[in-house]
């Protein structure tokens, strides 16, 4: 049994999958439906889809493509992007997603979590925190796919999200995202040690040893992978893949 979940985190933009680096320069990866079919064959335990254009453009999710994804997918699904009101969230659950990932909306409506939890439970809510260091090396929380600096302290914000009822936290280091250089262990440990809900570390993974490190040293309960599951290797072409499960078990047992 693997003690930490390993989850592909896939970025949606204009009905296609893309991959970014430090939240910039989205590169087209492929069709999300074909990608889901590959992950079905690889027997991945869970998938997260994040629409990186929905919130910055103040638009609702593309329910057509999400419905196609849900119909094709064999594993539990999470979705984030453009979730600004309960009716939109309900539509995501209605088409078959098990979790919603909330970020920007929580900065203007922090009690949105409890509204959703009343109907679907806290376990169905993932609060996303996107973090970047400022000029002086201090961590700050950003929203709108890294376009808006809230100036909030991520540790304090994580504690507030837990208090409001978040079931999990998806923690992304903007500085590490897409770099293959490894997770921000210090940031992950700060957040993981400050809350009692599972923290999903995201941003920077380039090899299996990075997963082991962020779980053991960063105290992450789960790991979300981007570049590693859509590229052959760093600076090489697209190849949808997933780490060997026996290898994962050997390092995460």
175 is catalytic: no
- Alpha-carbon distance of 119 to 77, in angstroms, equals 18
Q: Report the distance separating Cα 211 and Cα 80, nearest Å.
A: 23
* Cβ–Cβ under 8 Å, residues 118 and 86: no
Residue 155, C-beta contacts closer than 8 angstroms, at least 6 positions apart: 139, 190, 191, 194
**Cβ-defined contacts of 118-122 (< 8 Å, 24+):** 119/90, 120/93, 121/167, 122/165, 122/166, 122/167
Residue of 94, 130, 193, 217 marked active site: 130
Which residues participate in catalysis according to the annotation? 130
């Amino acid at each position: 049994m693997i003690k930490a979940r390993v989850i592909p985190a896939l970025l949606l933009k204009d009905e296609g999958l893309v991959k970014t680096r430090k939240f910039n320069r989205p590169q087209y990866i492929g069709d999300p439906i074909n990608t889901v079919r590959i992950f079905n064959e690889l027997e991945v335990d869970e998938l997260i889809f994040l629409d990186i254009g929905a919130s910055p453009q103040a638009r609702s999710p593309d329910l057509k493509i999400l419905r196609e994804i849900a119909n094709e997918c064999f594993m539990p699904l999470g979705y984030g992007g453009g979730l600004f009101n309960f009716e939109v969230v309900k539509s995501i659950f209605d088409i078959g997603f098990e979790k919603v990932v909330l970020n920007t909306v929580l900065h203007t409506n922090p009690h949105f979590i409890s509204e959703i939890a009343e109907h679907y439970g806290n376990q169905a809510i993932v609060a996303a925190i996107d973090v970047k260091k400022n000029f002086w090396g201090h961590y700050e929380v950003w929203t709108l796919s890294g376009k808006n600096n809230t100036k909030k302290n991520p540790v304090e914000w994580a504690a507030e999200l837990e208090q409001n009822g978040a079931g999990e936290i998806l923690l992304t280091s903007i500085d590490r995202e897409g770099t293959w250089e490894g997770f921000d262990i210090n940031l992950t440990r700060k957040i993981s040690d400050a809350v009692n809900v599972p923290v999903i570390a995201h941003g920077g993974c380039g090899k299996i040893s990075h997963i082991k490190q962020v779980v053991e040293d960063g105290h992450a309960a789960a790991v979300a992978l981007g570049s590693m599951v859509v590229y052959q290797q760093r600076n090489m072409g697209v190849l949808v893949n997933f780490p060997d499960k026996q290898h994962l078990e050997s390092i995460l047992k």
